[in-house]
Chain A
Amino acid sequence: MYAQLVKTAGTGVKTREEMSDEERNFQDRVDRDEKIEPKDWMPDDYRATLIRQIGQHAHSEIVGQLPEGNWITRAPTLERKAILLAKVQDEAGHGLYLYGAAETLGVTRDELTEELLSGRMKYSSIFNYPTLNWADIGAVGWLVDGAAIMNQVPLQRTSYGPYSRAMIRICKEESFHQRQGYDIMMKMAAGNDAQRRMAQDALNRFWYPSLMMFGPSDKDSVHSAQSLAWKIKIDTNDELRQRFVDQTVPQAKYLGLTIPDEHLKWNEDRGAHDFSEPDWTEFFNVIKGKGPCNVERMEARVKAWEDGAWVRDGLMAHARKKTAARTAAE
């Protein structure tokens, strides 16, 4: 899940009696699974929440290039290097569709970028963790993209048309990403002692941060209830986390790796795994900027943006010259 702790605007779900005619009409359309399109009427709070959610998702794709980029120059074979490049390129592409979707709500990409760089908007907590050995690239695909897909597959049915369409495209690519991640893990798990150690070490470090990606429990949250009613959130955080654990446990077993949770066990009555909660204190620290890589990630983005200013200005100046020359010729 690349959007976490997105604060839903407004004061919670209104009853039909409390809604204006426009709001009632809007909610009816959402309930009938009609897509809301950019020019349609929508509540201000719906628009504001979507901008936060889509913007945070877009920022996550952009910042998410960094931990994987950390290994592009050290990828162990030409094929692995090519696959990783293609994957990171896809992620930049996802950022582009998502910023595009956000722009249909009346905010520009530059405005969203400024919000990110000033720290007012967040990106997923997961990208504040380091990639330390090659198996981390496998674990990122397997667990991080796996968790993202868990959230994004339902979002293909989200009420906002441009967001839903972006999700459909993104999900196709993400499932390829997850497969390539698992493929790395299979190679590592079947490799020599050092490679198996890398694989286990990657799982040890990425397991709980992956569970955190879904955000803290929100079953009693009035804000989540509103997002669920608007269908910009489809499942609760706990439902998604449970689904992720249930999917991942047999995959880890197949690899011969141990999930670092001594309380993990199948619960026959629930038909689901019981598992330990991640350390939510750590999660809130990461969100507040105290994760292992927050400072580096933000520095890298700020530096890229500032170092690139002359390029953007230069290309704009060129475009203006071209326009002026065309106008003069007419």
Chain B
Amino acid sequence: MAGKTNDDALFQFLLRMGDNSLILGHRVSEWCGLSPVLEEDIALANTALDLIGQTQFWLGLAGEVEGKGRTADDLAFLRDAWDFRNVLMVELPNGDFGQTMMRQFLYDAWSQVMVGRLIKSGDKRIADIAEKASKEVAYHVERSADTVVGLGDGSEESHARMQAAIDYLWPYVGEMFDGDEVDAAMVAAGIAPDPASLREEYDALVNKVLSEATLKVPTDVFHHKGGRTGYMHTEHLGHLLTSMQWLQRAYPGATW
């Protein structure tokens, strides 16, 4: 069994997984009833629903591993911004529909590669969650990739908007592949892959889809960071948490 240090690292790893799906699920849910066409309202709600479902598994396990009796809800609704471990990209505002779908694709592509590796995790609890999530993730990436291609290779306006979306989001992609001592501990324990090792497969998928979408992949290798370590989130996260956590904060201890 893993010792205390490894459990701390595992807890951090699970928060990263759970917070990514929580915060992205929340952002996607903001589209409710406002999307460009009815089928997209349904698809976006469905995506958000899957992401919230994955959150329940990841944060549920995180609470278990932490061993202080915190539930997935406690972790979602009662931590402040500095304790969140999601990558910065998922907390960015939705922007237009194109930016939302580009972000979704950039995340789904990562998620597909990641979940594919986690199915083989040495920790059965993690392998089981990854197995469940993998079917949803396969559908998500298929849909977001189709939309990116349709809009990228669509009209002049949709092309320009999608190019602007990738240009804006690209500096947030690199953070998903950063590694630190938490990741090193996960690799050593055979629980999760080195984030950098996902990059090649990710780039192949992203380049293929963006090329079909007739979009240029930015070449600048600079990237923002600070979300997955919690060192420095964007200003947007606090506002998101303000609405998300409001009821739990205003009425402590209530059962809903």
Chain B residues in 8 Å Cβ range of A309: 36
Q: Summarize A's interface: helix, strand, loop or mixed.
A: helix
Give the shortest distance, in Å, between A173 (CB) and chain B (any CB). 13
**Which chain B residues lie closer than 8 Å to A95 at the CB level?**
38
Q: How far is the CB of A124 from chain B (nearest CB, A)?
A: 15
A191: chain B residues at CB < 8 Å are 254-256
Asked whether A192 is an interface residue with its Cβ less than 8 Å from the other chain, the reply is yes
How does the 8 Å CB contact mask read for B6-35 relative to A, with 1 for contact and 0 for none? 000000000000000010001001101111
Q: Does B45 lie at the interface of the complex (its beta carbon under 8 Å from any beta carbon of A)?
A: yes
Q: Which B residues between 41 and 74 are near A, CB-CB below 8 angstroms?
A: 41-42, 45-46, 48-49, 52-53, 55-56, 59, 72-73
Pair B34/A303 contact, Cβ less than 8 Å: yes
| A145-185 CB contacts (< 8 Å) to partner B | 184
State the CA gap A318–B98 with chains docked (Å). 14
Chain B hits for A308, CB < 8 A:
35-37, 40, 97
Residue of A nearest to B34 (CB): A304
Cβ contact within 8 Å between A82 and B155:
no
Q: Do A88 and B251 form a contact, CB below 8 Å, given A78-B72, A96-B38? A: no
- Contacts of A80 on B, CB cut-off 8 Å? 256
User: How many angstroms between the C-alpha atoms of A96 and B22 in the bound complex?
Assistant: 28
A96–B40 CA distance with the chains assembled, in angstroms: 11
Contact call A311/B56, Cβ cutoff below 8 A: no
In the complex, are the beta carbons of A317 and B30 less than 8 A apart?
no
B200 beta carbon closer than 8 Å to chain A: no
Do the beta carbons of B45 and A89 come within 8 Å of each other? yes
- Residues on A with beta carbons closer than 8 Å to the beta carbon of B52: 78, 81-82, 85
Q: What 1/0 flags go to A50-88 for Cβ under 8 Å of B?
A: 000000000000100110110011111111111001101
Q: How far in angstroms is the closest Cβ of chain A from B73?
A: 5
A88 touches which of B22, B45, B256 (Cβ 8 Å): B45
* Docked CA distance A88–B76 (Å): 22
Cβ-defined contact, B155 with A69, below 8 A: no
Most buried by B among A95, A192, A303, A314: A314
Q: Which residues of A contact B77 (CB under 8 A)?
A: 76-77
CB contacts under 8 Å to B, within A197-227, are: none
Question: For the complex, is A194 an interface residue (Cβ under 8 Å from B)?
Answer: yes
Contact of B33 among A69, A86, A187, A312 (CB under 8 A): A69
A307 & B42 in contact (Cβ 8 Å cutoff): no
B138-189 contacts to A (CB < 8 Å): 147, 149-151, 153-155, 157-159, 161
- Per the bound structure, the CA–CA distance linking A73 and B161 in Å amounts to 26
B235 CB within 8 Å of chain A: no
Is B39 in the interface zone, CB < 8 Å from A? yes
Does A230 touch B at the CB level, under 8 Å? no
Inter-chain contacts of A82 with B (CB < 8 A): 49, 52-53, 56
**Are B72's CB and A89's CB within 8 A?**
no
Q: Is the CB of A65 within 8 A of B33?
A: yes
Q: How far is the CB of A141 from chain B (nearest CB, A)?
A: 14
Interface size class of B (residues with CB under 8 A): 35 or more
Question: Interface readout for B237-256 with A: 1 if CB under 8 Å, 0 if not?
Answer: 00000011011100101111
Establish whether residues A310 and B158, one from each chain, have CB atoms under 8 Å apart when the complex forms: yes
In the bound complex, do residue A76 and residue B49 qualify as a contact, i.e. CB atoms below 8 Å apart?
no
Please judge, given known A-B contacts A74-B246, A313-B155, A314-B151, whether A187 and B36 are in contact too, CB under 8 Å.
no
**Please, which residues of chain B bring their CB within 8 A of the CB of A194?**
251, 254
Contact between A187 and B42, CB atoms less than 8 A apart: no
CA distance A199 to B96 in the complex (A): 36
Cβ contacts under 8 Å, B73 to chain A = 77-79
In the complex the two chains form, what is the Cα distance from A192 to B72 in whole Å?
Answer: 22
Q: Judge if A49 is at the interface, Cβ distance under 8 Å.
A: no
Question: Which residues on the A side are within 8 Å of B151 (C-beta)?
Answer: 311, 314-315, 318
Contact B154 A318 (CB under 8 A): yes
Please indicate the chain B residues that have their CB under 8 angstroms from the CB of A73 in the complex. Answer: 26, 29-30, 243-244
Contact B45 A312 (CB under 8 A): no
- Using A76-B248, A89-B46 as known contacts, say yes or no to A311 and B256 having CB atoms under 8 A apart: no
- Contact residues of A between 74 and 132, Cβ < 8 Å to B: 74-82, 85-86, 88-89, 92-93, 95-96, 99, 109
Complex alpha-carbon distance, A85 and B49, angstroms: 6
Please determine whether B33 and A317 come into contact, CB atoms closer than 8 angstroms: no
Closest residue to A69 on the B side, CB-wise? B32
Q: When the two chains form their complex, are residues A311 and B97 in contact, meaning their CB atoms are under 8 A apart? A: yes
- Complex Cα gap A75–B73 (Å): 11
Nearest to B154 among chain A residues (CB) is A314
Query: What B residues does A248 contact at CB under 8 A?
Result: none
* Extra contacts besides A191-B256, A304-B35, A314-B158 (7): CB < 8 Å: A82-B53, A89-B41, A92-B41, A187-B256, A192-B254, A311-B36, A315-B154
Q: List 9 A-B contacts (CB under 8 A).
A: A79-B56, A82-B56, A96-B39, A96-B42, A99-B38, A134-B256, A187-B255, A311-B97, A313-B154
The 8 closest A-B pairs by CB, nearest first: A308-B36, A314-B158, A314-B154, A65-B33, A69-B32, A89-B45, A311-B36, A76-B256
